[in-house]
Structure 1
Amino acid sequence: MGESPVPDGNPIIRSVDTSDPAVLVHDGVAYLYTGHDEAPEDAARYVMRDWLCFSSTDLRTWTPHGPLLRVEDFAWARDGAKAGCVVERHGRFWWYVATNHATVPGGAIGVAVADHPTGPFRDALGQALVTDDIPDGRVPDGPDHTNDPWVHVHDGQARL
């Protein structure tokens, strides 16, 4: 029936509270990018200010790389680090993340760029790529459409 799971293998990250994982494989190394929840045990909501990265060559042993990106790295952002996605394109690494916008009501998607999967990452645009006030045919005051970005690169073209 197949191999039994490793009994102590889940969760794979135990040292901190993480959320919304995304994986990128580059040169035989898996990079796991996550949100980082710092809320106290009795909190009613998450407290997320940054994103973390862990790497592994065997998918059993993970090396933490600390916060590689923080909400404050985006001058236009306010708080609320949400899910992210990292892709490699044109030899660089692009980290698309969701957060709250400082001046536009609702959320936003920003993009940071680096020359290596572990950074350093910097805001690629100096402004949000997508804000919640961009029309998308949804009903007014409907759900925020800037959560959990995912990017697909096909034939050199990136699509959000």
Structure 2
Amino acid sequence: MKPRLMRTITGAAATALALGGLIAMPGTASAATDAACSASQNKEFDTVGQNYDVSIKLCVYKDGNDYKARAYVSWGDGGLQTGGMEKFNVQVRLEHDDADKATKTVDYSGAMNYSSSGDNYHTTDTYTSTADGGWTADGTVTYNIDLDGDGDKTWALGGSPSV
């Protein structure tokens, strides 16, 4: 193959790859997946050690008649300290017209106390329904700052737009 033709083919393949599959290639099927996410929600937690900076984003996903909700959690300024988080339970809920359909809660306190920064996510089980529209992700954080004597507190998260 001539060098100029090879550059053209390589450039076209790179462009298709960069578009992340927006261009359908012959012989491939593409499933329509809808998603809607909240803006990142940020909070600083005043711990005995360094203050933790946490960011959470909630997303809802629709794939045909299957729905799920996901919480993306990231933190900084944590790790290897006494007086970090005793509890940091992030609950994500899949809701249809404000009624809970699936929930999942994960405690991130161990990871946050161990690692100075990190990110992770967790997802509800898939819920199958023919009901169209009105599906959202919502959530709360129940946290307890170690050694502050204040017990559990709640951070209500803003939900995602609907799909």
Q: TM-score, normalised on structure 2?
A: 0.29
- Normalised by the size of structure 1, how large is the TM-score? 0.30
Higher share in strand: 2
Q: Which has the higher helix share?
A: 2
The structure whose Rg is larger is: 2
> Which gives a bigger RCO, structure 1 or 2 (Cα 8 Å, sep 6+)?
2
